[in-house]
Every structure is written in structure tokens, then in C-alpha cells.
A and B are shown apart, each in its own frame.
Chain A
Amino acid sequence: MNSPFALLSLIIAIPFFGLLFALTAKDEENDEIGGRNAFNVCVFSIMANILLIWRIFMVIDEKKQTVQLFEHFSWLQSPKIDITFGVDTFALILILAVHIAVLIGVIGVRSNIYKQKSLMIFTLLFLSMITGFFVSADIFSFYIFFEAMLLPLYMLIGMFGEVRKQSVVNRFFLYNFLGAIILFAVTMYIYKHHGSVTLEKLAKLRVPKEIEFYVWAAVFVSFLSRIPIWPFHYWISSVSSGIRNPLVFIISSLLPLTGIYGFIRFLPDKSSLPVELYGTWINIIGIITMMFISLIGLINKDSQYKLFAYVTVYYIMYLIGALTTDALILMNIGFSVFSFLIIFAGMSVLSGYIYRKQESYQTNEHGFLCRVPRLSFIYSYLTIAAIGMPLSAVFINNFLILSKLLESNIRMGMLLIGTLFLVGATLLQELYKLKLSNAECPISSNDDISKKMFYFMLFVIFILLMSFIRPLWFVVG
């Protein structure tokens, strides 16, 4: 089916046009109402895109697992490169989740006055690029967006990441750039032998035996460069765990999702020896990484690191699930990731709020949530949903993913459940610390989140609850 009104191009273009509007907005950086116009443009662009995505859900057949709504463009004549956009339900769920997560992040930084305009501009650019990445249906557009999203990410982390050493940010970029360059080499190899193929055909391509180990090694390394898995974890963890701006933290935490999505799109439909071999190694290393990160998260007192540990452990679990290449599991991963992204975005915003308040009072006392009922309710709900209680789609879908993993390898499955338990304990430990009654805590009811924010977060909770009842509840007709 061809896309009516070029809907897929539109959802890439809208944030980009929003960016151009924001760029010309008459906002002075760092003033009292700094970036208010850019903020409004950003929110409007994201909302418009969410509406369009909703419309796309109506157009496609959500039960089909194949790519739909094709858009073809002849991009370059020499070398001959055609660009194809297309989307399936899985990709569309991810796009929607990313938009909602970024919207939560944007709302969370509405009171920010430090370079707000730049923050909104690069956020919109990132959103445009990551949307393009998910709607890519051929190898070239896939690669283009895979690499292009590094630009806004680098700028956001460099400007707002508050990373002490700027060289760390540069290395983070170079490290991800290296992954992208390796993917570029793979893309050029495929192009040389098969032309500008679609991602659907890619799964059916057979790599010659003499080089298949190298090609798959390159594919694995390029996608693993986006996932904080040992030995690729250092630059991601060194940057992500230090970011205090919730929006930038959310955006930087979306990066591993692109690596997992890359695996899902590139893995062959028929198993091959190198894929099995590398897959086994990733399973082993993944489990070890999960155990270490969840243990460090439990020991570490920094709430940001705890959140980072939670995000990392869940991403690796999704990666291990994705490597099974089971269609049903993939769909469950999609539904689970939808809720997971919303939950962690909400938690990031609230953690950022708590951190700023604690910083303004120069206190790190227990019992922050005792006198702020609105914040307490939302934070508690999100924490409980995050650990997999039946409050969002994470519950049932994780259950299905884990049961499949247990079925394929019971030891691995048990270890995986153990790490999920540990990381859940990490979040509960943080919640306990915040809710522990403490008379010396200087926080008063005036420090609670605003009513507007409360209602917005209630709406987020509503989305999570509905996704628990039926993952695609918003699709009508």
C-alpha cells in the first residue's frame, strides 16, 4: 500500500519545519522567559506529529507484520540510490512512544531558561532524525538516519549534559561515529553486490561464506556501539549517568533503542553460523552486564545512576529478546517498549524535579515525597509500573518475553529474572528513601508539582493503564 498524502515524509518533515520556525523565533537565550516561543513551537510540532501518527495507525492494517505505506524517492542518479520509506506496526509503536517520551521531557523542562531555544531546536532535529530512522525501509535511508541522529545528540549532550570533561563528550561522539562508519562500510558492501535493497529483502540476502563472519561482525559491532553492553558500555554510561537535564537524559537514553531496532531489521530470516555464534556471545555478555549494572545500581546512591541502571538492564533484556527473531516476541517487545519509554521519561522528569529542589535547598535528606502528595502519587505509580507490576503494558509483555527466554534457555532466563528483580529493588530502594518519614526534610507542600503538570502526568498514567488493558487501545476503525 502506498502512503496517502506522503504521511511518512510528513512526520519526518514536521519536526524539521518546527526547527526552522524555532530557529527564527525571537527568543533571547538565557532571559527570564527565554525560549518560550521555541518551546511552544516544539510542543506544537510534537503534538501535530502524534496526531499524524495516530492517523497512520488508522490507515495501516495493524495486524499485519509486514511493512506498509511505502513511499519511494529517487535520490541520486550516480551512484543510483533510491530512498524508500515504509512502516509496520512495530516501528509505528516505537515512533509513537518516542514522541510521547520526548513530549514528557519537553514539558518537564518548560521552566528551564538556560539556552532553551537551542534545547528545543536540537530536540526537534533529533526527533526528525529518529522518526526518519524508524520509517526507513531501505538500507541507505536507514544508514543516513542512523548516523544523522548523532549530530543533535552530540550537541544536546555537549551543551546540556553537564559532563565535567568535554573530551568525554567528544569520545562519546567518536565512538558512536565509529559504529556508524562500520555500518556505512556494510551498507556500501550490500549496495555493491545487491544495489539499494529494502530492509525486507535484506533479511533474505545471503552473504558469501568466506566473508560472512566479517560482515556480521561489522553489523553486530555497529549496532552494539549504541547499546551500553560490555565492552561498549563505558562511553555511554560515563555520559548518560551524569546528565541532569531530564529531556537530554531521555533523548540520550533513546540511543540504545536504535541499536536494538537495527538488530531487528538486519538479522536474517534464516539462521546462519556467525549470527548464532555472535548471538550466543551477546547473550552471555548481556547477562553479565545486566548483573553488574543492576548490582552497581543497587549500591550506588545517585538516583540518576539508578535510573540509568534500570534503563540499561531493560534495554539488554529487549536485545536478548530481539535476538530470538520470534515474530510474536518482537511484537511483545514493541508493546513493552511503548510503556517502558513512557515510564522512564516520566521518572526522568520527576527525578530531575526532585534533584533541582534538593539542590535549591542544598539537602539530600530522606522523605522528600512525604509532603508533596501529587508528586508522591505520580512517582510511586511510575516506580511500581516500572518494576513490572500490573499497571502498564510492561507487565504482561515482559511476562511473555521472559517465558520465551526461559523456554529457550532456562539458566539464562533465571539469571535474567534475577537481574530484573535486582533492578526493581533498586527503584524501590529509591522510592523508599524518598517516602521515608523525616522531620528534618525542608520540603513543604509548596514544592509539589504544579496542577498543570499533575494533570498532564495523570494523562500519562491513563495512557499506561490503557496500554495495560489493550496495547493498541487508541486504534479505532
Chain B
Amino acid sequence: MVQNWLILLPELSFLIYLIISWQVNNHRRDKTPKTFFTLSKVFILITIISTIVFYNKSVFSKVWINDNYTTLFKTVMYLIALVWFYLSSKWFLSKNRPSFLFYALAMVELLCLEMLISSQNLGLTVFLLFCICMLNWVLIRLYVDEDIISEISRLYIFFSVIFLLLSTGGCLIFFQEAKSLNYTDIATYLQKTEIVSFKLRLATSLIIAFLLFMMALAPFHSCFVRMVSLTILPVSGFISLIPPLAYLASLLVLSIKIFMPLQDMLYWILGIFGGVSVFVGALSANGMSNLRCLFGYSTVYHLGFVIFSVIAFNQKSLLSSFAYMLVFLLAMLGIYTCFLGLKSRGEYLKTLSDIKGVSVSRPYIGVAFLIFIFSLIGMPPMTGFLGLISVVNNTMAASGWFPIIALLMSLLLIANAYLQVIRHLYFEAPNGSFDRTDQSIYMSLLLNMILVIISLVNPDYLLKDAAKILTGGF
């Protein structure tokens, strides 16, 4: 009994955090964003430790399980969340806004994401995805005028409900056919079925579509991009940096473990969504003058790119997708840290013209921007090259030359969009004055860059254990 409670410690710690932070919010007078960050930090650290300690123990093993694979994804997600929570506290301090709600919602979302990674039941997966939608819906409205956000929040909730209904329909079809929603049962049923019926194929597509919507792949990307550009910076960073890793983990489990017999169909579905996302993301990023929109579209591009590794449907897909995602998230975290370091008269900078001449006024932020942007392009000697080579190598082995040529050509398009940012940072004269940048921003950037340099010189330092875990499969 006690052992079971201990195994549930990662999940329980999120709930305990909620109770304590609620108490603190109600009863403590001198509460600051730092208070809530410290609380979240403690509980995330407890979660990380307990996740690693009980990496292969599960209580409700029919509904969700913990293993090497889930532990790896969860640990990386928690670490990124920890860093982002720390940086977000700087935003709340600077803006003098209460942060209780943000941290509480983000912690609940982390709980949902963590369960999504471990989920072993289609019903639970769909339910968790809808919960995440609801949490995102609340998060995006935090401290944003109702007039500005109302349209997009309505659209987002509308699509969420539609996808919930569709994927519930998919679950019902599976329940009707396989008499269970458990992943193992469905996988066994599909393997035994010689010819998979149209109904089952439709059900699979509906469930996968919900995940693709959550991953903001084109043509479901417009809500995500607008959310990223309109919400406050902590929320924008949170929804760009943290959930994609969990979605990817879930997509990999579903496409490689559960729906393996439907590979031929999934290949085309994911390939088309990935391909469209890559080109829509890259082309749209080129037309953006709003920085967060530009990087929102670039997120769509990179998530589309990673899909090409998934469609190889082999054990290497796990490692290559993870490697790409990891280096992408490191670079994106760096970009968002730079956003937090760029202020003028108390306002965080949003457009390309705002960042003119940053390299002169804030040279270290300029250098960081440069490193992270070139990493996103996948250019050696930056870490992005590791991700690029992993995906291209795996895609080439599985899909041949056509997707490779398309992917490499799309790199040119996205590179052009990124060059606009570099041009404004370095080649244009400063537009105005910039506020003093917090030392902690510099420290975060330095740590991120050290990680980039270490992983560049010795990439196995970053990926060796991940490779061991992921090549072992599920």
C-alpha cells in the first residue's frame, strides 16, 4: 500500500503543490512570483527524483505505465519546465502581476502531459488531450484583454470540442471492434486482423488527428500561432516549449507500437501533414514581422520536420525524433530567454523593427540569438545539425530521396526567415534604447550555450543514455 503511494509520488506531488500554493495564495501576505516559483521548483524536483527512482514501477499498469522511455521524455520535459518557470518569474516580477494562477495551471498541465506520456489507454489519452486543451484555453486568457483574445479562444475551444467528439467516436469504434481501449489489446487485435476495415482506419485517423491538432501541424496551426503571439510571454513560452515533447512521445507510442499494422495509411497521413507543415511553416515565417509569430510558424515547421523521422516507423525513429526535438527545444528555450532579456521602457519587444541593432546595445544577447538561430537552421557547428542529421539519416533509410530533397529545400525557406531576424539584430542601426537586462537572463543563456557547446564537441554526452534507452524500444 505504502509502496503504491510512493510510486504515485510524481503525480501526487503536483496535487500537493496545488493545495500548498492555494493555501499560500490565500493566507500569506508577502507572496511574490518568486514564492510560487520556489514552491513549483521544490515539487518539480521531487517529481523528477521520484520519476527516476520509480522509473519502471506502475500502480495502474493497465491505464498508464512507467518505463525507460516515459522516464526519459518526462525528465526532459520537467527540466525544461523548471527553467521556464524560473524565467517566467522574472516576467511576473517585472510586470508586477500575480503569478499563482499561471503556476497552478502550468503544474496541472504538466500533470496531464506526464500522464499522457505514460498513458496506455486510448480513452485516457483522448481525455487528457481535452484536459490540456481546457487548461491551454484558460492559460491563454491570463492577463490578456478579452477583446484581443476572445476570438481566438472561442475558435480554439470550438476546434478542441470538435476533435474531442471525433476522437471519442474513434475510441468507440475501437471499443466496439477490439472490446477494449487498452493499447496492448488494440495492438494485439490489429495484428491479428488480416484486413483492417475502413471503420478502424477511420477511427485511427480521428485519434491521430487530435494529436496533430495539439501539435499545431498545418492546417491546424493557425490557432497555435495566434495564441503564441497574443498571450503573455510566460504562457507563450510554456505552450511552445513544454507540451510538444509530450505530444511527440504519445505520437511515437501510438504510431510505432499500437497502430503498427496501419503503417501504410499512417505513412501518408503523417507524411502529408508533416510536408504541409514544413512548407506552410517556412513560407509563413517569411512574411512575419512579429517575432513571436515568426517563431510560432518556425515551431510549426520544426514539428513538421520531426514527423518525417516518425514515419520511418522503426526503432531509430525514437532516437532521431527525440534528438531533433531536444536540440530544437534547447534552441527555442534560448530564443525565448532572449525575448525575456529584450525590453524597452518596460515593454517586451515584439516586432522585428524593435530589435534593430540589439547586437550593439546588448552584444551577449545578440550572440545568443545568433547561436540559437543558426542551430535552428541546422547549420554545423551548432547542435541543430545533430537533429538534422538524425532525421535525414533515418528518413533516407525509410522513405528514399523525395522527402529528403523536399526537407532540404524547405531548409532554405526557413533559413531566409531566420536571416531577417539576424539582419535586424546585426546589420541595422539601433532604433531606440533597451532596458537593463536581468543578470539571471544572462546566466540562463550562458548555461544554455554551454550545453550547446558540450553537445557539439561531444554529442554523445547528451545523447548516449538516450540512445541506450530509445534503441531498446518500448
Contact digits for B396-423, partner A, Cβ 8 Å, 1 yes 0 no: 1100000011001101100110011011
Q: In this assembly, does A372 line the interface, its C-beta being within 8 Å of a C-beta of chain B?
A: no
Q: How far is the CB of A146 from chain B (nearest CB, A)?
A: 9
Of A151-159, A278-286, A378-386, the one contacting chain B is: A151-159
Residues in B neighbouring A151, C-beta threshold 8 A? 374, 379
Residues A166 and B427 in contact in the complex (CB < 8 Å), given A78-B467, A191-B393, A192-B396:
yes
Contact digits for A65-77, partner B, Cβ 8 Å, 1 yes 0 no: 0000000001111
Partner of A181, one of B385, B390, B411, B419: B411
Residues in A neighbouring B460, C-beta threshold 8 A? 74-77
Q: Is the CB of A185 within 8 A of B408?
A: yes
Residues in A neighbouring B173, C-beta threshold 8 A? none
Residues in A neighbouring B205, C-beta threshold 8 A? none
Total number of A residues with any Cβ neighbor in B under 8 Å? 37
CB neighbors of A among B243-292 (8 A): none
Q: How far is the CB of B420 from chain A (nearest CB, A)?
A: 8
Residues in B neighbouring A166, C-beta threshold 8 A? 423, 427
CB neighbors of B among A134-162 (8 A): 143-145, 147-148, 150-151, 154-155, 158-159
Q: Is the CB of B459 within 8 A of A76?
A: yes
Partner of A78, one of B316, B370, B381, B411: B316
Q: Is the CB of A181 within 8 A of B380?
A: no
CB neighbors of B among A61-94 (8 A): 74-79, 81
Q: Is the CB of A174 within 8 A of B426?
A: no
Q: How far is the CB of A186 from chain B (nearest CB, A)?
A: 11
Partner of B405, one of A169, A185, A192: A185
Q: How far is the CB of A217 from chain B (nearest CB, A)?
A: 13
Q: In this assembly, does B136 line the interface, its C-beta being within 8 Å of a C-beta of chain A?
A: no
CB neighbors of A among B163-198 (8 A): none
Residues in A neighbouring B72, C-beta threshold 8 A? none
Q: How far is the CB of B426 from chain A (nearest CB, A)?
A: 6
Q: In this assembly, does B342 line the interface, its C-beta being within 8 Å of a C-beta of chain A?
A: no
Q: How far is the CB of A112 from chain B (nearest CB, A)?
A: 16
Residues in B neighbouring A155, C-beta threshold 8 A? 370, 422, 426
Residues in B neighbouring A181, C-beta threshold 8 A? 408-409, 411-412
Residues in B neighbouring A76, C-beta threshold 8 A? 386, 389, 459-460, 463
Residues in B neighbouring A74, C-beta threshold 8 A? 460
Q: In this assembly, does B471 line the interface, its C-beta being within 8 Å of a C-beta of chain A?
A: yes
Residues in A neighbouring B404, C-beta threshold 8 A? 185, 188
Total number of B residues with any Cβ neighbor in A under 8 Å? 40
Q: In this assembly, does B319 line the interface, its C-beta being within 8 Å of a C-beta of chain A?
A: yes
Q: In this assembly, does A173 line the interface, its C-beta being within 8 Å of a C-beta of chain B?
A: yes
Q: Is the CB of B393 within 8 A of A144?
A: no
Residues A158 and B467 in contact in the complex (CB < 8 Å), given A147-B380, A148-B380, A188-B396:
no
A-B Cβ contacts below 8 A, count: 92
Q: State A115–B360 Cα separation when bound (angstroms).
A: 9
Q: In this assembly, does B359 line the interface, its C-beta being within 8 Å of a C-beta of chain A?
A: yes
CB neighbors of B among A285-340 (8 A): none
Q: In this assembly, does A406 line the interface, its C-beta being within 8 Å of a C-beta of chain B?
A: no
Residues A79 and B360 in contact in the complex (CB < 8 Å), given A158-B423, A170-B419, A185-B404:
no
Residues in A neighbouring B412, C-beta threshold 8 A? 174, 177-178, 181
Q: Is the CB of A174 within 8 A of B380?
A: no
Q: In this assembly, does A23 line the interface, its C-beta being within 8 Å of a C-beta of chain B?
A: yes
Q: State A145–B426 Cα separation when bound (angstroms).
A: 23
Partner of B408, one of A75, A118, A158, A184: A184
Q: In this assembly, does B303 line the interface, its C-beta being within 8 Å of a C-beta of chain A?
A: no
Residues A77 and B427 in contact in the complex (CB < 8 Å), given A23-B367, A148-B380, A150-B379:
no
Q: Is the CB of B380 within 8 A of A144?
A: yes
Residues in A neighbouring B411, C-beta threshold 8 A? 177, 181
Minimum CB distance partner of B389 in chain A: A79
Q: Is the CB of B408 within 8 A of A174?
A: no
Residues in A neighbouring B467, C-beta threshold 8 A? 77-78
Residues A158 and B426 in contact in the complex (CB < 8 Å), given A29-B360, A79-B390:
yes
Q: In this assembly, does B326 line the interface, its C-beta being within 8 Å of a C-beta of chain A?
A: no
Q: Is the CB of A118 within 8 A of B359?
A: yes
Residues in B neighbouring A191, C-beta threshold 8 A? 393
Q: In this assembly, does B325 line the interface, its C-beta being within 8 Å of a C-beta of chain A?
A: no
Minimum CB distance partner of B364 in chain A: A23
Residues in A neighbouring B360, C-beta threshold 8 A? 29-30, 115
Residues in B neighbouring A159, C-beta threshold 8 A? 426-427
Minimum CB distance partner of A132 in chain B: B381
CB neighbors of B among A430-450 (8 A): none
Contact digits for B47-58, partner A, Cβ 8 Å, 1 yes 0 no: 000000000000
Residues A144 and B459 in contact in the complex (CB < 8 Å), given A77-B467, A170-B416, A174-B416:
no
Q: State A181–B396 Cα separation when bound (angstroms).
A: 15
Q: In this assembly, does B392 line the interface, its C-beta being within 8 Å of a C-beta of chain A?
A: yes
Q: In this assembly, does B62 line the interface, its C-beta being within 8 Å of a C-beta of chain A?
A: no
CB neighbors of A among B361-385 (8 A): 363, 367, 370, 374, 379-381, 385
Which of B405, B420, B422 counts the most A-chain CB atoms under 10 A from its CB?
Answer: B422
Q: State A79–B471 Cα separation when bound (angstroms).
A: 12
Residues in A neighbouring B28, C-beta threshold 8 A? none
Q: Is the CB of B385 within 8 A of A144?
A: yes
Q: How far is the CB of A195 from chain B (nearest CB, A)?
A: 12
Q: State A115–B392 Cα separation when bound (angstroms).
A: 38
Partner of B419, one of A115, A144, A174: A174
Residues in B neighbouring A29, C-beta threshold 8 A? 360, 363
Contact digits for A202-239, partner B, Cβ 8 Å, 1 yes 0 no: 00000000000000000000000000000000000000
Q: Is the CB of A177 within 8 A of B415?
A: yes
Partner of A174, one of B367, B390, B415, B463: B415
Q: State A144–B459 Cα separation when bound (angstroms).
A: 14
Contact digits for A12-37, partner B, Cβ 8 Å, 1 yes 0 no: 00000000000100000110000000
Q: In this assembly, does B436 line the interface, its C-beta being within 8 Å of a C-beta of chain A?
A: no
Q: State A183–B463 Cα separation when bound (angstroms).
A: 26
Q: State A177–B426 Cα separation when bound (angstroms).
A: 19
Q: State A151–B456 Cα separation when bound (angstroms).
A: 16
Q: Is the CB of A78 within 8 A of B319?
A: yes
Contact digits for A107-120, partner B, Cβ 8 Å, 1 yes 0 no: 00000000100100
Q: In this assembly, does B31 line the interface, its C-beta being within 8 Å of a C-beta of chain A?
A: no
Minimum CB distance partner of A211 in chain B: B401
Q: Is the CB of B381 within 8 A of A170?
A: no
Q: In this assembly, does B464 line the interface, its C-beta being within 8 Å of a C-beta of chain A?
A: yes
Partner of B393, one of A79, A143, A145, A170: A79
Minimum CB distance partner of A29 in chain B: B360
Residues in A neighbouring B459, C-beta threshold 8 A? 75-76
Can you list the 10 inter-chain pairs with the closest CB atoms, starting with the nearest?
A: A144-B380, A79-B393, A158-B427, A181-B408, A170-B419, A148-B380, A78-B467, A148-B381, A76-B459, A166-B423
Additional pairs, 15, CB under 8 Å, beyond known A78-B316, A78-B467, A170-B420: A23-B367, A29-B363, A75-B459, A77-B464, A78-B471, A81-B389, A118-B363, A144-B381, A144-B385, A148-B380, A158-B423, A158-B427, A166-B427, A177-B415, A178-B412
A-B contact pairs, 21 of them (CB 8 A): A30-B360, A75-B459, A76-B463, A77-B467, A79-B389, A79-B390, A118-B363, A143-B380, A147-B380, A151-B374, A154-B419, A155-B422, A158-B427, A166-B423, A169-B427, A173-B415, A177-B415, A181-B409, A185-B405, A188-B389, A191-B393
